[in-house]
Amino acid sequence: MIDEKGILFILSGPSGVGKGTVRKALFERDTELKYSISMTTRPQRNGENEGIDYFYRSKQVFEEMIENNKLLEYAEYVGNYYGTPRDYVEETLNSGKDVFLEIEVQGALQVKENFPEGVFIFLFPPSLEELKNRIISRGTETEDLVTNRLLAAREEIEMMDAYDYVVVNDKIETAVSKVQSIVRSEHLRRERVAKQYKKILEADLG
């Protein structure tokens, strides 16, 4: 059967590498993509908004979501839960629209088990030093949390081989263009496969 569902894109990589920055710039260029807003138990930061940056929920509510199988994936990351609400992703893909997830590595690996046809992109820092500078300069974490996020980053980078694409986020505009090219080429590839499939079906049916 020809697949008319949207494509699931997963942008992942260590904290502070620039996933949010790249995703926001990409969405200014490609208005057809749909962003899946995650749920988290971490406290809301200054400047963040409920239902735009995250759905901020208590640990109890989050654990009920897990029990009721309402999350496509979830992970405990540096002391807090983060997860992807299942219904939005499935409904949006079924309506033929592409969905973009911006999540850490443990969660991305869970998605890969359930959606092997997803497109997995790993955003890579120019160096660990630069990664540290970016987390610090964002000014959202205490010193301890910066250290914990950098420790997590080392483990996450080791999982990079599981991804379909690796994009270095050195210059922001270059990184965004590369991710945009991945989105376009995945569409072209799927259109080609669909056409070939149609030809085979027509030949089979005479």
Ligand X SMILES: Nc1nc2c(ncn2[C@@H]2O[C@H](COP(=O)(O)O)[C@@H](O)[C@H]2O)c(=O)[nH]1
Q: Give the shortest CB-65-to-ligand ATP separation in angstroms.
A: 20
Is 20 annotated to bind a ligand? Reply is: yes
* CA distances to 195, 197, 199, 201 from 206, in Å: 16, 14, 10, 9
Q: Give the shortest CB-90-to-ligand X separation in angstroms.
A: 15
Q: Which does 172 bind (CB under 5 to 8 A by kind): ligand X, ligand ATP, none?
A: ligand ATP
Q: Whose CA is closest to 88, among 53, 24, 37?
A: 37
What the block records as the tokens of 126 is: 């120019």
Buried b (16+ CB within 10 A) or exposed e, 41-52: beeeeeeeeeee
**Does residue number 18 form part of the binding site for ligand ATP (CB under 6 A)?**
yes
3 state DSSP class of 43: coil
**Does residue number 169 form part of the binding site for ligand X (CB under 6 A)?**
no
**Does residue number 84 form part of the binding site for ligand X (CB under 6 A)?**
yes
Which member of 26, 33, 92, 104 binds ligand X (CB under 6 A)? Answer: 104
Positions touching ligand X (CB under 6 A) are: 15, 19, 38, 42, 73, 75, 77, 82-84, 102-104, 106-107
